[in-house]
Amino acid sequence: MEDVTPWQQQFCNEHKLPITYISQFDHALSWFKKEVLDQSNPLCIAVSGCQGSGKSTLSAYFVAYLKSQGKMAESVSIDDFYFSKAKRLALSKQYAPPFVTRGAPGTHDIEQAITAVNRFKQGKPFVLPRFDKAMDDPHPEEKWTSVNTKLDVLVVEGWCLGLPHQTAAQLTESCNAFEAQGDPERLYRSQVNSFLKTDYQRLFRLFDRLVFLNGQSFEHVLRWRLEQEHKLIERCGKGMSEQQIEAFIQPFQRLTEWGIKTLPDRCDLELVLSKDRSIILNNDYKQ
């Protein structure tokens, strides 16, 4: 590993990471330098991966690197574009009851996300919303991030970014108890698939590069999601119990496993993770 630079040491300190994080992501940073650093046009970089895979941390690492190089950069999570509880309640009444819970395609304000990315690419001022997961509602607008200077790079991270839709035949069989008992007529998964096929692809087409953190197995998600929630509770004093987490992640299983199957062929950089989130394989793809 090359010597750790001051900005890397500061990053690890701020994020309470072991210094070995730097060597783990040497390849990813080298790829990022090559693909992003010297580009003259504004680039939107998507970081996709299952819950708890480290998307937010990697996105922040990319942004910290860019700033160390004198570039203007910002990051946002697709989670920050979640609809309010009131809006999701309305969606649940319009389409299917599970839409009241945040997470799946259909529960994000995709038009707002598309507007933000387009304005970024045009070099115009834009606003990034921020979502309060502990309260399950957007933060007040005064806590949103106003971007009034031209950025070189915008990093967008999210669990479903880059996913293609599924066929009707693929929706037939239930993948877990949530689908078997909570969506026996397939109304929910079909509507999620419809949102993914239409509105979400419009957003995905705006991404210039796609990085995929491949968690390999849905079994890893519960472990990682519990770790994530414990950190949220430490920081905010509020969060979900283990039983609530187990129930919360079931609606994510179908598309998480679909991403593991399809995104290696659709991404520009794949980082394959072990169960402890160590990178065990790096794959660059030229498309």
Q: Look-up: residue for tokens 């070189």?
A: 152
The span from the CA of 219 to the CA of 275, in Å, is 9
Q: For residue 281, is pLDDT > 90?
A: no
* Average confidence score pLDDT of the chain: 94
Does residue 285 lie within any of the structural domains? no
Domain containing 135 equals: 6-273
Does residue 284 lie within any of the structural domains? no
Compute the average pLDDT of residues 181-204.
97
For residue 287, what pLDDT is reported? 45
The span from the CA of 204 to the CA of 218, in Å, is 23
Does residue 84 lie within any of the structural domains? yes
User: Where residue 205 sits, what CATH number does that domain have?
Assistant: 3.40.50.300
For residue 162, what pLDDT is reported? 98
Q: Look-up: residue for tokens 């066929």?
A: 167
Does residue 161 lie within any of the structural domains? yes
Does residue 282 lie within any of the structural domains? no
Does residue 213 lie within any of the structural domains? yes
Question: CA nearest 73: which of 19, 36, 18, 21?
Answer: 36
Number of domains in the chain: 1
Percent of the chain with pLDDT over 70: 98
Does residue 50 lie within any of the structural domains? yes
Does residue 19 lie within any of the structural domains? yes
For residue 286, what pLDDT is reported? 53
